[in-house]
């Protein structure tokens, strides 16, 4: 879809193909490719990109034909937002491209229709979806740190070879500064080439900002979030690749005088693709390891006697994460669902027990006073959880009576039904909590 957009904007096939291909190799939005749940968000991005292509092509038509085709584009924008809001801000700003393709009045009229429809979809989505939106003051206080992490990511994306992010950012700035100076001093051909790629670099910067703007209200994630959370970069990866590729083309144009654009483009693509692919393969192995460990946990659960209806299963002895923010079963809600699916019984509950957990043997029940999880560092409102939800927060309703408590040790395959308080005390001494690597949290 990105390839189609870039070709519609008349970017040469070799450059459009390189940029589109690079978006598939971005390691800092890998969850969109490697995690089935996040990959669904790509559907929203595709609806937006198709809508943008339709809108741009509609500008070539006048009268009812053009307006009807643009109405289809608006519908696709709305479907994108209602699927997931990732492209919401980009859809609001798409009209800026119309101004480069059509008379001002026509472009502004169609842009206005976009803004009305997309804004309505965003408002409806915010009202109908239980998602936390931080107060304005909190969003404003988060914005500077978000921007700094975005610049760090730009450094990493510019030189994807494991060098420091600062070095990459300095290289980016140096290329842009030199190019701006050469635009004033170089020959006409050089100035034209630099102007073209600098303009695409500017488009990339605006696109990245628009991609992130819709996510600021969550005030939790940043562009450097890892593992599950790097899905925040799924939309931004597209303009980021436009930005980084254009920067490399600027550098190549400065270094290789007298043309040879194919050589420069091929070199830029090869360098960026290889640097990103190496990182992506490492992440792929981590995701695969996570899947393998999940399967091992589920295999142990399938071997134990079927828990009685209404039981709570506490799982000990398993690893929480395999890489930063990349879990096995590192939270209550994912293991809870896994236990219910494994035994096909929605009355069951399943909780992981890691280092730092605090379980209290009461007279007639077991109370999970604290069960650390990957996301238990969030405040309740930030993830839209109430204290009674299946999140990392517990209260009296989470106590389980003896006889309906099952301890399972993944490391040994041992399982035990806790029948009374003395048995509870002994079991807590013999069942070992799993490891929780705080460096990966």
Going by C-alpha positions, the residue among 251, 281, 24 that lies closest to residue 158 is 251
CA dihedral 349, 353, 359, 362 (to 10 degrees): 40
pLDDT for res 262? 87
Low-confidence ranges of the chain (pLDDT < 70): 132, 186, 219, 257-259, 376-397, 438-441
Q: Which tens digit of pLDDT belongs to each residue from 265-320?
A: 999 999 999 999 999 999 999 999 999 999 999 999 999 999 999 999 999 999 99
| Pair type for strands 365-370 and 358-361 | antiparallel
Rounded to an integer, what distance in angstroms lies between the CA atom of residue 405 and that of residue 423? 11
Dist. CA 274–CA 160, nearest whole Å: 9
- pTM of the predicted model as reported, rounded to 2 decimal places: 0.87
Helix, strand or coil for residue 387?
Answer: coil
The number of C-alpha atoms within 13 Å of 283 and in the hemisphere containing its C-beta is 23
What are the start-end ranges of the H helices in 129-164? 136-158
Q: Following DSSP, what letter does each residue of 7-59 receive, concatenated? A: HHTT--HHHHHHHHHHHTT-GGGTHHHH-HHHHTHHHHHHHHHHHHHHHHHHT
Q: Residue 317 corresponds to which tokens in the numbers above?
A: 């002895």
Contact between 152 and 225 under an 8 Å Cβ cutoff? The reply is: no
Report the pLDDT value the prediction gives residue 380, as an integer from 0 to 100. Answer: 33
Lay out the sheet containing 358-361: strands in order across: 358-361, 365-370, 400-401
pLDDT of residue 360: 93
Cβ contact 171:163 at 8 Å: no
Q: How far is CA 76 from the centre of its chain?
A: 22
Domain boundary assignment for the chain = 132-289, 304-440
Q: Is 259 helix (H, G, I), strand (E, B) or coil?
A: coil
Work out the burial of residue 59: count CB atoms within 10 Å of its CB; fewer than 13 is exposed, 13-18 middle, 19 or more buried: buried
Q: Is 256 left (phi over 0), alpha (psi -120 to 50) or beta?
A: beta
Rounded to a whole number of angstroms, the distance between the first and last alpha carbons of the chain is 35
**pLDDT tens-place string over residues 328-337:** 998 888 899 9
Quick check: 427 and 334 in contact, CB under 8 A?
no
C-alpha 246, offset from chain centre? 24
What is the predicted pLDDT for the residue at 441?
63
Cα–Cα distances (Å) from 328 to 320, 394, 416, 437, 439, in that order, read 5, 21, 23, 12, 15
SS3 322: strand
384 to 141, 142, 375, 391, 392: CA distances (angstroms): 20, 18, 12, 10, 12
């Amino acid at each position: 879809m990105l390839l189609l957009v870039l070709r519609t904007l008349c970017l040469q096939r070799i450059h459009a193909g390189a940029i589109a291909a690079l978006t598939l190799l971005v390691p800092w939005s890998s969850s969109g490719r490697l995690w089935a749940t996040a990959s669904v968000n790509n559907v929203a991005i595709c609806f937006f990109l198709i809508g943008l292509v339709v809108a741009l092509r509609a500008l070539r038509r006048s009268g009812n034909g053009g307006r009807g085709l643009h109405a289809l584009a608006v519908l696709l924008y709305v479907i994108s937002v209602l699927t997931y809001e990732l492209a919401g801000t980009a859809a609001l700003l798409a009209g800026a491209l119309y101004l480069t393709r059509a008379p001002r009045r026509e472009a502004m009229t169609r842009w206005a229709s976009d803004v009305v429809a997309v804004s309505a979809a965003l408002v409806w989505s915010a009202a109908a979806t239980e998602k936390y939106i931080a107060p304005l003051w909190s969003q404003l206080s988060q914005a500077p740190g978000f921007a700094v992490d975005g610049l760090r990511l730009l450094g990493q994306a510019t030189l994807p070879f494991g060098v420091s992010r600062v070095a990459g950012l300095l290289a980016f700035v140096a290329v842009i500064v030199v190019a701006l100076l050469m635009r004033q001093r170089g020959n006409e051909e050089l100035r034209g080439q630099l102007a073209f790629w600098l303009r695409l670099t500017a488009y990339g910067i605006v696109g990245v900002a628009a991609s992130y703007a819709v996510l600021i209200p969550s005030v939790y994630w940043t562009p450097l979030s890892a593992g599950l959370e790097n899905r925040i970069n799924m939309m931004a990866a597209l303009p980021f690749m436009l930005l980084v590729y254009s920067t490399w083309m600027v550098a190549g144009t400065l270094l290789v005088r007298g043309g040879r654009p194919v050589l420069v483009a091929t070199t830029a693509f090869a360098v960026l693709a290889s640097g990103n692919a190496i990182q992506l393969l490492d992440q792929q192995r981590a995701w695969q390891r996570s899947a393998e460990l999940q399967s091992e946990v589920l295999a142990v659960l399938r071997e134990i006697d079927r828990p009685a209806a209404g039981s709570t299963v506490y799982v000990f002895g398993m690893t929480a994460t395999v890489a930063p923010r990349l879990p096995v079963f590192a939270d209550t809600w994912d293991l809870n669902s896994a236990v219910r699916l494994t035994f096909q019984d929605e009355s069951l509950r399943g909780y992981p027990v890691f280092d730092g957990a605090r379980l209290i043997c009461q007279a007639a029940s077991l109370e999970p006073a604290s069960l650390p999880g990957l996301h238990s560092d969030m405040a309740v409102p930030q993830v839209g959880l109430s204290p009674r939800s299946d999140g990392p927060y517990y209260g009296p309703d989470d106590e389980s009576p003896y006889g309906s408590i099952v301890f399972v040790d993944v490391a040994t395959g041992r399982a035990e039904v806790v029948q009374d308080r003395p048995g509870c005390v002994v079991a807590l001494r013999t069942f070992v909590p799993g490891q929780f690597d705080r460096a990966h949290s």
